[in-house]
Structure 1
Amino acid sequence: MAGITASTAPSVAAVVVAAGKGIRVGGGMPKQYRRVGGRSVLARTLAALAAHEGIARIQPVIAADAADFFAECLADLDPAHRAKVAPPVEGGTTRQRSVHAGLEALDGSGAPEVVLVHDAARPFVDAALIERAVAAGRDHRAAVPGVSVTDTIKRVEPLAPGIGRVVETPARDALRAVQTPQSFAYALLLDAHRSAAAAGLDAFTDDGALAEWAGLPVVVFEGDTANRKITQASDLIEADRAFSGADARTFPMTSPMTAYVTRLGTGFDVHAFTEGDHVWLGGVRIPADRGVLAHSDGDVALHALTDALLGAIADGDIGTHFPPSDEQWRGASSDRFLAHACKLVRERGGRIDHLDITVLAEAPRIGKHREEIRARIAEIAGVPLTAVSIKATTTEKLGFVGRAEGLAAQAAATVRLPDEESAQG
């Protein structure tokens, strides 16, 4: 994009198509949510696009029943990358309908000038290919990446299942195998999709072909043979090896066949009341008659939950990582503690399955704040809302809690970690 300044460069967005079932790879879940090198295929694809400074936002399109899977993908992203990812929209029964849904969502949030359409199952896309796609879309308005064909291609006429008569042998130098990301002037592609939908056509498996149908001249720019699409189980195994070798220290190897062990960690925290007008519970500021005496913000729920996660991976406690003797943590927001513990779990190739908290207090009552607390914890931890539970109880006027001298919380966290003994055996 030489010669293009920040003020004159076209705005660029990307639609990532992730609504497919991906059943050919097996394993009980769509291929885009399988983990390669410690992160899901989709998370790697989103990260590659989000890392490109020219892409302002990314619109994922997912299946209606994939919200929990997608939440785990987001949790695998760096915060800066996650900020570029818009809330997902529900895809359709065909790829064309899914792309159309993503384009319409971008229109509703502020239309870009250039849009890239990329398959979720192509996590090997690199910055150079993305740069070529952005430039081609800007210069030609409809462009697809392609690589030269090395095998001889035959066009056949089917005779019976698995048998066909050769009709033509096209010259290989005129053939290209087309990939994604494909790049278009956004308004033109959206119009083409709307026209196809109005005509009752929904079987286009490639946006370049749909653009051709709409009368747009489509150019082919240089693709990348390394930009492979994950289709079969063997592709997942190869991708896992590739990504594990590339960044194993950050995201340890967890292949589709990796054995996991379930770990349960528990945590407990207590704080005495003092003067104040609010308490923090589960990352939510709750009005109260008194505050709590603490070095940080005194969020007993997040403190207990942090200790539970650290316990599950046998990595000390909250005081080990955030000592109260260190002044940098005075008044610190406890969401930083929980986020750190979650990061440690994932750096070990682990997955957080469930978080459960019980608050012990006579006051304040948390009933009306329950769902807000659940949502906040799910956001911090990067897990689905269904993986977070919070309850509250009193101690029937017994003990310091019963005397309203303070409040406490206990928590349990269930995580899955790669079974190192099985891997070594």
Structure 2
Amino acid sequence: MDKEFTVDPEGLHQAVELMSRDFSSAEGFSLPIELPQVGMGSTVALNSLAPSILGGAARLGEATSFAHMDPPTPWITWAITLWNASLNQNLLHPATAPVARQMEKRVVAWLAPFFGMNGGHMTPGSTVANLTALWSARECAGVTQVIASEGAHLSIAKAAHILGLKYLSVPIDANGSMDAMQLPTNLSKSALVLTAGATSTGAIDPFVLAGRAAWTHVDAAWAGPLRLSKHTHLLAGIESADSVAISAHKWLFQPKESALVLFKDTEKAHAAVSFGGAYLATPNVGVLGSHGATATVLLATLLAWGHQGVAQRIEHCMNLARSLSDFVASDERLELYAEPQTGIVVWRPKVENSFDQMQQQLPVGSTSTTSIAGGKWFRNVAANPSADIDLLIATIQGVLAERA
């Protein structure tokens, strides 16, 4: 038997031990230009790559990490991901993933009711989830056009292009939400996409619009998990949609790539996007063919934390964003774009020419930037429960003091 395909406790222990080392000052590994003729062996490769992979990566769980929608992941997800890699399950066929397929069904059954949906399936991310939902809309509701706000994620326009559907972008209001007054009167051939947590601003589109078009899809990639928290009212009306997309690798704290597409009428939607094959025991549902057991990782996290544990972490992140927002609003030297709706704080210094210098002085990984109506803004995203908001506020105060 080839030992490279068997459990190596010593090698795996070494991999875990390397994770605890500090490689921040390591120079990294110089890769050969061409594929080596002779391999160096797994243990040597592991040790050689650790400084680059572990030392060169962004540290999403650091106290200063507050810039992006990419969270740190709990250690149980590392363990289950290791198991998944060792088993290499393929959910395309029941024979190659008998338990993993059932776990995906169970995870979907747990989460779908929070959104008023009755089922769905997992995808590698919300880009594929949005594409799948709009594909279903085209097949089930005969839509010929996709309508979304200017704040919608680029995956919506991309999906419309792939599906051969017209695309209409609707202006946003002062808070970054879709301006309902700008919608066309006749939506009988349209898929209306409402965003729950715009990427730049975190804004939520008005869910009172759900159900007015031939098909309503909610891109809740970022803010969807608020439905599991005390902030569920912020997404009131989402249950009137026909489909919902959620990125589990955002506010459900999963490793990439993990997302869900959920449907009001799953049987009809899945039938519309299913294809059979002579080699398949069951029809292939959705965009993906072969795909792995990402649901087992999400299921393990939900079992470990429970509903309460998920809610606690999301609510803590919302509190962090509120603290930063309150600080910005109270400082006359700073400008807040709008009251944060879903844990994203957008702000800037009132002295426009100080923006670039302030950006250079903020801690690496603490703050990202975005452009709104041609203007530059700072953007902080509450995806890291371990972020030290007092440290970030103190740093901003220090930068402002230097400018005084």
* TM exceeding 0.5: no
Question: Which structure has the larger Rg over C-alpha atoms?
Answer: 1
User: Normalised by the shorter chain, which TM-score bucket?
Assistant: under 0.3
Give the helix-richer structure, 1 or 2: 2
TM-score scaled to structure 1, two decimals? Answer: 0.21
* TM value normalised by structure 2: 0.22
Higher relative contact order (CA 8 A, sep 6+): 2
| More strand, by proportion | 1
